[in-house]
Structures are given as structure tokens and as C-alpha cells.
């Protein structure tokens, strides 16, 4: 099996990541009503992190920049985790 980067190249992989991030941002609001205001605030912060990560990758789609952006993608996951936990408590 080949990776997305091997199949499409670095530039197209950047667009692939952007496409799935956009899909994620479009679908997320359908689930936000379950989390209330905490979910909205956490999701907006996560969207900002995802957008920053995509900006880094689209400006320079190299493996080095991709690894730098990976930190932002993982940080957005942590924000989601804490948002869901806080929303379930309050």
C-alpha cells in the first residue's frame, strides 16, 4: 500500500488535508448542539488550530513543515477531548 503523499505528491497531499479539514468543519456543527456553549467555544478554538496547521502546510508542503503543523493538529484533538469532558461535567 502506498501513502497519500506517494500517490499524489506533496502539493496534492496538502490539498487532500485541506479537503478533509473542510469536511470536518462542515460536519462538526451538526454535533455541537449536544455540547452547548462549551462545545462551541472549544470547536472554534480547534478550528483556529486546524486552520493554522493547514496554512503552514499549504504555504510550504514539505515533510518538515508538515511535522511542524502536526503539533497543531494534535493540539486541536486535545482541545476536543477537554471540550467534551467539560461539557459532560457541566
Q: Does residue 5 register a pLDDT over 90?
A: no
Report CA torsion sign: 37, 77, 73, 75: positive
| pLDDT per position as a tens digit, 29-79 | 998 888 899 999 999 999 999 999 999 999 999 999 999 999 999 999 999
pTM of the prediction?
Answer: 0.89
The per-residue pLDDT for 21 is 97
Q: What residues contact residue 30 under an 8 Å CB cut-off, 6+ apart?
A: none
Average pLDDT value for residue range 73-90: 95
Amino acid at each position: 500500500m502506498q501513502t497519500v503523499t506517494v500517490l499524489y505528491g506533496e502539493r496534492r497531499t496538502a490539498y487532500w488535508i485541506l479537503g478533509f479539514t473542510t469536511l470536518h468543519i462542515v460536519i462538526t456543527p451538526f454535533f455541537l448542539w449536544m455540547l452547548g456553549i462549551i462545545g462551541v467555544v472549544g470547536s472554534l478554538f480547534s478550528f483556529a488550530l486546524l486552520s493554522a496547521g493547514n496554512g503552514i502546510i499549504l504555504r510550504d508542503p514539505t515533510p518538515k513543515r508538515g511535522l511542524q503543523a502536526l503539533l497543531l493538529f494534535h493540539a486541536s484533538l486535545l482541545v476536543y477531548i477537554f471540550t467534551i469532558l467539560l461539557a459532560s461535567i457541566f
